[in-house]
Amino acid sequence: MDFESACNFMEQLASTTSKLEKIQITKNMLRNARNDEELKAIILLLQGRQYPDYINKETGVSTNLLIKAMVKAYGYDEKHIEEKWKKTGDLGLVSEELAKTKKQRMLLTQKLDLIYVLQTLQKLSELEGEGSIDKKISLIAGLLINAKSLEAKYITRWILGDLRIGVAEGIIRESIVAAFFVQVFWQELFNSSLSSDNLLNLALKYWKGLKLIVGKEVILSNPHINLIKRIAGDVRIIKEEEIKKFSSFHYTSLDADILIVSSNDLGNYLREYLSKLVETAYSLINDMPEIAVIAKNKGEEGLKDVKPIIFRPIRVMLAQRVSSIEEAFKLLGKVVAWEYKFDGFRTQIHKKGNDVRIFTRRLEDVTKQFPDVVQAVRECVKCNECIIEGETIGYDRETGKWLPFQKISRRIKRKYDIEEMVKKIPVMTFLFDIVYLEGDKKIDFKFKERRRLLESIVDEKDKKMMLAKQLITSDVEEAKKFYKEALDLGNEGVMAKNLEAAYEPGLRVGHMLKIKPTLENLDLTIVAAEWGEGKRSGVFSSFELACLDKDTGEFLTIGKLGTGIKEKVEAGGITFEELTEMLKPYIIREEGKKVYVKPSIVVEVAYEEIQKSPTYTSGFALRFPRLIRVRDDKSVDEIDDIERISRIYALQRCRLKQQDIM
Ligand code: AMP
């Protein structure tokens, strides 16, 4: 695919907000790939990446460097480019504009190919050491000089990793399904949509020449049938029982593109089933381009066969939050497995023979930081090959008491004097799941079966590696007692798990629940902000929050706020514009799009919880912070301090009110 065609697809995607339409466009783009390599490149472009997710390589191109490349390509000075950038908030648009008027035009410009552009961008991440900056500038400038204006826009955005086409992972997944499996519509959707929704437009725009199968039982009015016949290349009508007999709905096996059926059951079933297959397979290998190729060449069976790859982290299954023991029972059924919600870090352990690697929930490799865990795995996990999961927590060597996450977060970040840290903050790991054993994935096993497998391979002898304590009960009072015990021991709360459920990688599932106490608002100050883009250009769109360290008078960052602020005055509350104006007098310096301000404005912020986080200088991060109001009545020395935040963090685990639990 030439790069210009790819860019035209990007433009189409950017021009619609309809999810259905985006899926149709993306589907067409995927179908247009001439070979597997091109299909992979298309997916990477859609993701705004140069490598699949599991490869942790970055182009290492900052906006500053990119601007230098633009200077070289277009012959304008930096200031000119920066001013334009400030106005639009999008370097891609600046590139597009400058490419139209470029001073240095190559006489013999070659047509850019998608794969060539990708490979050039990949080279950027391979350049290191002396002279690499200049080489990067030349590489990018070389591409931009050869690019037409539209291409320049998307090359720039691709380098920055933000295509601005409104295509997130979900749409890519559904487009893979749409491209390589028959798309199923059912008659109600089709009938009702024809008059109102955009399905008619969609049909007219994208169905031209497609092969359709219509279930014989489908009741469509004559005009609809006529319409379908007019736009479709081929319409076959067959009995729905026949349809159900097709074991695979791969696009090649049915020799059709679209299937219209009479009940939404089959339609929904297939759509959700296939979408989930893609999602699960992707979560296991973290490689969307590869998943697209598998879907295309091997269909449903190929996706089902995708297995985790040892030493490549999988996306773990996540829990939903509920507020009470009763709610958990209501959702999970009569008998529930309860475990402590340990206050450590999620540990994904990969073992093959004597080789062990440890990953965090964010898929970071922390093997080097935890030689003690590696050793414990070698001693306690009795298998050749496995992927198991647990929570690693620190404990006090003297008292044996469990330590809050804050302590081991220092071990996660530490890159030197590892042995000293191992001695200072010893850890233990509580195992609670298994996803892979001796060459077979175990995600389809029920939780109770996975637990049994785990028990069969773990030797708990010296307590370095243990199975998470479990209470299996149908008794509310007993579960409440377990919750209290968990909090008293310094845990964050409890986890409630359905014993019959499978492991669903990458998903926040309704069969694994977390319960922890709830919290009150915080008063914080704003120490930095970021200029917005698009409809928010000219105003700040994100605000960095900080609390106080009363001892040093320092402000410690704790999260970024972008929610609870209004777009328009009529909406009530404070607007982005008002908050921007309030902060402007306090600007200290600007760094690219980031602006540092003197802590002066106090804001009251609600949040879902306080998490430990290495990202902010306080060591904590607010989850989902939301502006409640600006506290004109408070000065910055009255804001909440780090001690209170640590206290609330601890309270999260130690119950705010007795009645929360009892
Ligand atoms: P949260 O981080 O609040 O979304 O809660 C989910 C996290 O709790 C998981 O990612 C684990 O790191 C952690 N956790 C602690 N104990 C357990 C347990 N027994 N089972 C599952 N997850 C646990």
Which whole-number Å values give the CA distances from 316 to 10, 17, 86, 584, 630, in the listed order? Answer: 31, 30, 39, 42, 38
Q: Where in the chain is the domain with CATH 1.10.3260.10?
A: 3-166
Return the CATH number of the domain spanning residue range 3-166. 1.10.3260.10
Q: Does residue 202 have its Cβ closer than 6 Å to ligand 1?
A: no
The residues facing 349 across adjacent strands are 358, 388
Residues of the chain with CATH 2.40.50.140: 522-661
DSSP-H helix ranges across 89-181: 91-100, 114-126, 132-146, 149-160, 169-180
In words, the CATH class of domain 522-661 is mainly beta
Question: Which pLDDT value is given to residue 659?
Answer: 35
pLDDT in tens, 154-172: 999 999 888 999 898 899 9
- In this structure, which residue's CA is closest to atom 6 in ligand 1? 319
**DSSP assignment letter at 311:** T
Q: Does pLDDT of 215 surpass 80?
A: no
Q: Whose CA is closest to atom 23 on ligand 1?
A: 341
Ligand 1 centre distance from Cα of residue 456 (Å): 22
| CA of residue 493 to ligand 1 center, whole Å | 9
Q: How much of the chain exceeds pLDDT 70, in percent?
A: 90
Look at residue 317 and tell me whether its pLDDT is greater than 70: yes
Is the predicted pLDDT of residue 193 greater than 60, yes or no?
no
CA neighbor of 355 nearest in space, from 335, 327, 374, 382: 374
Residue 305 has pLDDT above 60, yes or no: yes
Distance 346 CA to ligand 1 centre (A): 7
Q: Is 468 exposed, middle or buried (0-12, 13-18, 19+ CB in 10 A)?
A: buried
Ligand 1 contacts CB of residue 469 (under 6 A) = no
Gap between the Cα atoms of 408 and 405, Å rounded? 6
Average pLDDT of the chain is: 88
Question: Can you tell me the distance from the alpha carbon of 345 to that of 614, in angstroms, rounded to the nearest whole number?
Answer: 12
Two structure tokens written together for 591: 């760094």
Residue 529's identity, in one-letter code, is: A
For 218, how many CA atoms within 13 A lie in the half-sphere containing its CB?
Answer: 32
- Which residue's CA is the nearest one to ligand 1's atom 17? 341
pLDDT digits (tens, 9 = 90+) for 442-456: 999 999 999 999 999
Residue found under tokens 């059926």: 261
Contact predicate 427/395, CB 8 Å: yes
Does ligand 1 come within 6 angstroms of the Cβ of 319?
yes
pLDDT surpassing 80 at residue 132: yes
The CATH code of domain 318-515 reads 3.30.470.30
> Does the structure show a pLDDT above 80 at 246?
no
| Order of all β-strands in the sheet with 211-215 | 183-186, 258-261, 211-215, 234-238
432 lines ligand 1 (CB under 6 A): yes
Contact 329, 479 (CB under 8 A): yes
Q: Is the pLDDT of residue 655 over 50?
A: no
DSSP count for the chain of H helices, then E strands: 26, 24
Residue 248 and residue 295 in contact, taking contact as beta carbons nearer than 8 Å: no
> Closest ligand 1 atom to the C-alpha of 361?
10
| Separation CA 444–CA 450 (nearest Å) | 9
Of 522 and 535, the structure prediction assigns the larger pLDDT to 522
Annotated active-site positions, please?
341
337 lines ligand 1 (CB under 6 A): no
Structure tokens at 330: 């209501």
Nearest-angstrom CA–CA distance, 619 and 616: 6
CA pair distance 292, 175, nearest whole angstrom: 9
How does pLDDT run across 26-80, given as a tens digit for each residue?
Answer: 999 999 999 999 999 999 999 999 999 999 888 888 888 999 999 999 999 999 9
339 in contact with ligand 1, CB cutoff 6 A: yes
Expressed in angstroms and rounded, the spacing between residue 516 Cα and the centre of ligand 1 is: 11
Contact of 612 with 406, CB cutoff 8 Å: yes
Range(s) of the chain covered by CATH 3.30.470.30:
318-515
